[in-house]
């Protein structure tokens, strides 16, 4: 076993020596190869360096040549481009000039109507400006005239207020207002009312402003002398306190005038007359202002047989009286209407007789005509037709027509129930035509 081990060790040593010899030989071979490769590499490096130098020189020469060629090509291209650009620009400029002329003409054709319209508008604006100036001048003049009119109206109003403070002027104004109301009510002066009638009584001579005659012979006195001092002061008052004081004074003055009218007792002097006198207040606001401060004034006036009447209520009263006058006129004319009816009835009776005679004459004429037609047909036409059969004459004879209508009988129709009226028994009855 030791021998085997030794042999194994010997074999391993031999193998190691052989391997070391082989490895050294391989290493020398590799070293030689490496030296050869390094030599070749150095040669290649020298060749490569030479080639690089040659390439750089060639590149330098190519760069110079390319630069020269590029400059020449650029010069040539620039010249060609300029020529082409000049040619194209000239062509486009000519086209653009023609297009611009066409567009200018088109724009001018479009703008020409606008220019004309603007000219007309400018002319119209000038005319409007002239008319506006004249109208403005007229308006200024009208405003000035209106202001002058307002000043005159203010002056005239102040004058009227001053004049109405005088009893005579105030009374005349009330009479004029009263006359207008009477005319509006249809009370004509010559038949229905009398102005400024004088009455004598226990209190002396008195004169109402208006005396309205009533149907049946009565009369109603109307007074238009209304005190207006307090009312005018209230209209001119500067503040509410002064206005209230003036309206209270106006109510007291109107109440005092009502008491004075009640004491005059016109109905005792004008007989027959209702126990009533009308106090005409020429304005609704005049009476309403007094009633606002003294609501019991109306009842107080009625208790004294005084009726406070404004234009509206007086028109209603006078129209009622006018209706009574119309009814009395109708009653007064009733007899004349009856006489005319009797006369008309008599004349209708005579006319009915004449119509009856005319109807009988028409019946007689129709009978004679029918007899003549019968004789003509039975006696004359027979011989005439024989002449036609003998060819003596040509054509047919027309036969005359017979009249079958009779005259209508005149009868008095029964009147409808709503139209039945009383008939005077003394009137003769209308005769009927015999059948």
In the chain, the number of structural domains is: 3
Q: DSSP 3-state assignment of 272? A: coil
Distances, alpha carbon 340 to alpha carbons 200, 219, 345, in Å:
45, 33, 9
Residues 209, 222 contacting (CB under 8 angstroms)? yes
Query: CB 211: neighbour CB atoms within 10 A?
Result: 20
Whether the model pTM is above 0.85: no
- Calpha distance 365→357 (Å, rounded): 12
Segment (H or E) for 136: helix 2-164
| Residues 256 and 235 occupy one common structural domain | yes
| Residues 184 and 294 occupy one common structural domain | yes
pLDDT of residue 163: 54
Question: Residue 64's domain spans which residues?
Answer: 17-129
| Residues 406 and 314 occupy one common structural domain | no
Segment (H or E) for 368: helix 334-375
Which regions of the chain are under pLDDT 50? Answer: 190-192, 204, 413-435
Measure the CA angle with vertex 27, ends 22 and 30; round to 5°.
125
| Residues 214 and 318 occupy one common structural domain | yes
- Give the domain-ending residue among 303, 332, 361: 332
| Residues 231 and 357 occupy one common structural domain | no
pLDDT of residue 299: 92
| Residues 386 and 347 occupy one common structural domain | yes
Give 147's Cβ-side CA count (13 Å radius).
Answer: 5
Flag whether 154 is in a domain.
no
- Give the domain-ending residue among 78, 98, 129: 129
Q: DSSP 3-state assignment of 171? A: helix
pLDDT of residue 296: 92
Flag whether 309 is in a domain.
yes
Flag whether 69 is in a domain.
yes
- DSSP string for 272-283: S--S-EEEE-S-
| Residues 199 and 300 occupy one common structural domain | yes
Residues 6+ apart with CB under 8 A from 424: 338, 341, 342
Flag whether 163 is in a domain.
no
pLDDT of residue 259: 92
Q: Terminus-to-terminus CA distance in the chain, angstroms?
A: 200
Flag whether 137 is in a domain.
no
| Residues 271 and 307 occupy one common structural domain | yes
Reported as a single tens digit per residue, the pLDDT across 38-67 is: 888 888 888 888 888 887 887 778 777 777
Flag whether 427 is in a domain.
no
Reported as a single tens digit per residue, the pLDDT across 67-111 is: 777 777 777 777 777 787 788 777 777 777 777 788 888 877 877
Flag whether 435 is in a domain.
no
- Give the domain-ending residue among 282, 310, 332: 332
pLDDT of residue 419: 39
Flag whether 342 is in a domain.
yes
Measure the CA angle with vertex 287, ends 281 and 291; round to 5°.
145
């Amino acid at each position: 076993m030791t021998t085997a081990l030794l042999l194994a060790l010997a074999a391993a040593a031999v193998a190691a020596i052989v391997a070391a010899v082989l490895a050294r030989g391989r290493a020398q071979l590799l070293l030689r190869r490496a030296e050869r490769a390094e030599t070749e590499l150095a040669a290649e490096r020298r060749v490569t360096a030479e080639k690089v130098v040659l390439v750089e020189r060639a590149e330098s020469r190519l760069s110079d040549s390319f630069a020269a060629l590029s400059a020449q090509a650029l010069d040539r291209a620039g010249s060609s481009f300029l020529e082409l650009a000049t040619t194209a620009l000239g062509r486009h400029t000519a086209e653009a000039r023609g297009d611009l002329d066409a567009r200018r003409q088109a724009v001018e054709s479009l703008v020409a109507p606008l220019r004309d319209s603007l000219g007309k508008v400018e002319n119209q604006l000038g005319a409007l400006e002239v008319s506006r100036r004249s109208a403005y001048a007229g308006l200024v003049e009208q405003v000035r005239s209106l202001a002058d009119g307002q000043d005159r109206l203010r002056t005239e109003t102040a004058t009227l207020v001053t004049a109405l403070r005088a009893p005579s002027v105030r009374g005349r104004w009330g009479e004029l207002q009263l006359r207008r109301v009477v005319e509006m009510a249809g009370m004509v002066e010559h038949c229905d009312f009398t102005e400024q009638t004088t009455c004598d009584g226990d209190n002396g001579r008195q004169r109402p402003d208006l005396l309205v005659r009533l149907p049946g012979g009565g009369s109603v006195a109307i007074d238009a002398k209304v005190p207006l001092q307090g009312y005018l002061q209230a209209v001119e008052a500067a503040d509410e306190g002064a206005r209230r004081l003036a309206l209270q004074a106006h109510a007291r003055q109107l109440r005092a005038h009502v008491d004075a009218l009640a004491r005059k007792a016109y109905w005792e002097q004008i007989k027959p007359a209702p126990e009533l006198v009308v106090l005409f207040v020429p304005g609704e606001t005049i009476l309403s202002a007094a009633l606002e401060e003294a609501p019991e004034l109306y009842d107080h006036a009625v208790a004294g047989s005084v009726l406070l009447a404004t234009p509206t209520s007086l028109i209603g009263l006078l129209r009622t009286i006018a209706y009574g006058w119309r009814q009395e006129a109708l009653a007064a004319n009733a007899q004349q209407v009856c006489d005319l009816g009797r006369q008309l009835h008599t004349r209708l009776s005579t006319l009915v007789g004449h119509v009856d005679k005319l109807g009988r004459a028409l019946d007689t004429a129709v009978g004679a005509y029918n007899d003549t037609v019968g004789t003509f047909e039975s006696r004359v036409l027979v011989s005439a037709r024989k002449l036609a059969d003998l060819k003596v004459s040509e054509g047919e004879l027309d036969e005359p027509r017979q009249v079958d209508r009779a005259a209508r009988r005149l009868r008095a129709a029964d009147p409808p129930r709503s139209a039945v009226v009383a008939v005077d028994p003394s009137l003769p009855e209308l005769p009927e035509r015999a059948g």
